[in-house]
């Protein structure tokens, strides 16, 4: 089983990892966290330990599992939410430790070879989307993703996001810097470590399990390396109203976000390797959702990756081929149309949203989603919360980008996401930088 070796500087007095020194393999994995869909993260963490929770996200994921498929526009819509594709899959598959188990190399077409060759000519990345002829697109075709252009033939120089062979320093809170004496001293100073005799070096070999634990801790802890490498305690639970993580995230989102052309500006610390291409920087700094996963009027305005690939049907092998493939025997091949998996229509290009309209749902404070049943549902909720009818009132709220951003942040770190989003207000002058100084 593959492992990655980390050299950690540990403060014995506080039993805390100050930083680790690593090669590009570990940094590539950390950077890949930025590209992963949330559904994939919850799926992986749940497999690691069913009791592990990320705010309300586990409830949201479980709700999708429990909602009957008849409420979705297509059967594929449910699969897209539970097992979303990664727009950066072509890069992530080259990581030394592979943690994303979603297969993006499979394509599906109509059961009828005649239909795909001269009929509707549709191709799908999800199974059982219905072709225009009425048949399910269940015929499995495997097309391997093209390797990233920055991959080299030298095994030592096959970085994914960080191409050149280099060493990096990674702080306990995942700040990544090129390895240097000044970087090490800076991190020691920030933590107030004045006596270096308390610092000892330890070697840790981590595998897939430890990487998944780091992924989870990166969402709920300010000290993920310490939590995982030193096993200081169980993964923190964010149920305390005064939780540091909860407060810092919720303060950061609403009043201090800047919007340029409808996009939210996010501050990230990224290693500036001179050999990192602009395309890779774009993937990390402005991650997009996979093609076919977007929908109109999405409040957060997350963009959908553009699939510039074209696929043709090869008469001779009865399989689709990519544009970069050599056209066999100089044949003229029929062009295939990529089916929008959310579309129930035969054209395959009009899908919008995941759920059928006008279906209605009840969403609890901890983001449990169920098909609406006004009387029985309200009675059950009030009984569960021990609240009388006299103590409730109804109000209407608007959900725009600000509210959607607050709800997203709250869903990570709170078990009362709706209350935190619509009823609680954080001080306007509170910034995450203020919390970090404490």
pLDDT, one tens digit per residue, over 413-431 is 888 999 998 887 544 443 3
Buried b (16+ CB within 10 A) or exposed e, 89-115: bbbbbbbbbebbebebeebbbbeeeeb
> Do 92 and 206 have their domain in common?
yes
Residue 198 lies in a domain: yes
Q: Please tell me the predicted confidence (pLDDT) of residue 147.
A: 54
Q: Please tell me the predicted confidence (pLDDT) of residue 309.
A: 75
> Do 217 and 346 have their domain in common?
no
CA-to-CA dists, residue 46 to 285, 404, 428, angstroms: 27, 25, 35
> Do 198 and 95 have their domain in common?
yes
Q: Is the pLDDT of residue 134 over 60?
A: yes
Residue 159 lies in a domain: yes
Domain count, the chain: 3
Q: Please tell me the predicted confidence (pLDDT) of residue 434.
A: 39
pLDDT 10s digits, 64-102: 999 999 999 888 899 999 999 888 888 888 889 988 877
Task: Give the pLDDT band of residue 378 (cuts 50, 70, 90).
Answer: low
Give the count of beta carbons closer than 10 Å to the beta carbon of residue 329.
7
Where does residue 224 rank: exposed (0-12), middle (13-18), buried (19+ CB within 10 A)?
buried
Q: Please tell me the predicted confidence (pLDDT) of residue 254.
A: 42
> Do 328 and 229 have their domain in common?
no
Q: How far apart are CA 172 and CA 187, in angstroms?
A: 9
> Do 129 and 154 have their domain in common?
no
> Do 317 and 413 have their domain in common?
no
pLDDT 10s digits, 388-406: 767 777 778 888 888 888 9
Residue 256 lies in a domain: no
> Do 135 and 181 have their domain in common?
no
Q: Is the pLDDT of residue 8 over 90?
A: yes
> Do 375 and 347 have their domain in common?
no
- Helices 208-220 and 38-48: angle between axes, nearest 10 degrees: 120
Q: How far apart are CA 241 and CA 410, in angstroms?
A: 12
HSE of 259, CA atoms in CB hemisphere, 13 A: 14
215/234: higher pLDDT: 215
Of the candidates 9, 437, 7, the one whose C-alpha atom is nearest the C-alpha of residue 193 is 9
Residue 94 lies in a domain: yes
> Do 309 and 431 have their domain in common?
no
Q: How far apart are CA 331 and CA 364, in angstroms?
A: 57
Q: Please tell me the predicted confidence (pLDDT) of residue 264.
A: 33
Q: Please tell me the predicted confidence (pLDDT) of residue 50.
A: 74
> Do 370 and 335 have their domain in common?
no
**Mean local confidence (pLDDT), 12-27:** 91
Domain of 328, in residue numbers: 106-142+296-352
Q: Please tell me the predicted confidence (pLDDT) of residue 311.
A: 79
Q: What is the pTM of this model?
A: 0.76
> Do 321 and 343 have their domain in common?
yes
Task: Give the 3-state secondary structure of residue 384.
Answer: helix
> Do 169 and 118 have their domain in common?
no
- Pick the last residue of a domain from 189, 218, 237: 237
- Pick the last residue of a domain from 321, 352, 383: 352
- Pick the last residue of a domain from 237, 263, 285: 237
């Amino acid at each position: 089983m593959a492992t990655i070796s980390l050299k950690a500087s540990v403060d014995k007095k506080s039993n805390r990892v100050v930083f680790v020194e690593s090669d590009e393999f570990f940094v590539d994995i950390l950077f890949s966290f930025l590209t992963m869909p949330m559904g994939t993260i919850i799926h992986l963490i749940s497999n690691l330990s069913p009791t592990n929770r990320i705010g309300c996200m586990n409830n949201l994921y479980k709700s999708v599992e429990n909602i009957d498929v008849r409420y979705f526009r297509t059967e594929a819509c449910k699969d897209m939410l539970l097992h979303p594709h990664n727009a950066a899959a072509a890069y992530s598959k080259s990581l030394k430790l592979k943690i994303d188990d979603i297969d993006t190399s499979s394509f599906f077409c109509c059961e009828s070879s005649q239909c795909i060759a001269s009929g509707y000519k549709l191709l799908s990345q999800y199974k059982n989307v219905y072709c225009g002829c009425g048949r399910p697109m269940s015929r499995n075709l495997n097309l391997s993703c093209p390797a990233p252009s920055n991959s080299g033939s030298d095994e030592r120089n096959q970085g994914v996001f960080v191409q050149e062979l280099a060493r990096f320093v990674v702080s306990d809170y995942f700040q990544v810097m090129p390895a240097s004496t000044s970087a090490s001293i800076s991190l020691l100073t920030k933590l107030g470590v004045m006596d270096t005799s308390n610092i000892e070096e330890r070697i840790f070999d981590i595998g897939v399990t430890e990487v998944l634990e780091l992924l989870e801790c990166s969402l709920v802890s300010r000290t993920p390396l310490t939590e995982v490498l030193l096993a200081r305690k169980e993964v923190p639970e964010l149920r305390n109203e005064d939780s540091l993580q909860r407060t810092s995230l919720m303060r950061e989102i609403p009043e201090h976000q800047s919007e340029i052309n409808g996009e939210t500006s996010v501050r990230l610390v990224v290693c500036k390797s001179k050999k990192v291409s602009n395309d890779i920087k774009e993937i990390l700094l402005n991650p997009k959702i996979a093609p076919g996963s977007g929908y109109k009027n999405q409040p957060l305005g997350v963009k959908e990756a553009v699939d510039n690939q074209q696929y043709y049907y090869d008469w001779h092998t009865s399989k689709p081929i990519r544009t970069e493939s050599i056209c066999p025997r100089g044949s003229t091949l029929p062009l295939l149309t990529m089916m929008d998996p959310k579309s129930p229509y035969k054209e395959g290009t009009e899908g919008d949203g995941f759920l059928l309209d006008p279906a209605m749902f009840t969403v609890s404070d901890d983001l449990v989603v169920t098909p609406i049943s006004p009387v029985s549902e309200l009675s059950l909720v009030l009984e569960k919360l021990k609240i009388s009818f006299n103590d409730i009132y109804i109000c209407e709220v608007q959900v725009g980008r600000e509210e959607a951003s607050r709800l997203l942040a709250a869903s990570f770190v709170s078990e009362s996401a709706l209350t935190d989003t619509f009823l609680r207000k954080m001080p306007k002058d509170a910034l995450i930088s203020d919390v970090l100084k404490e």
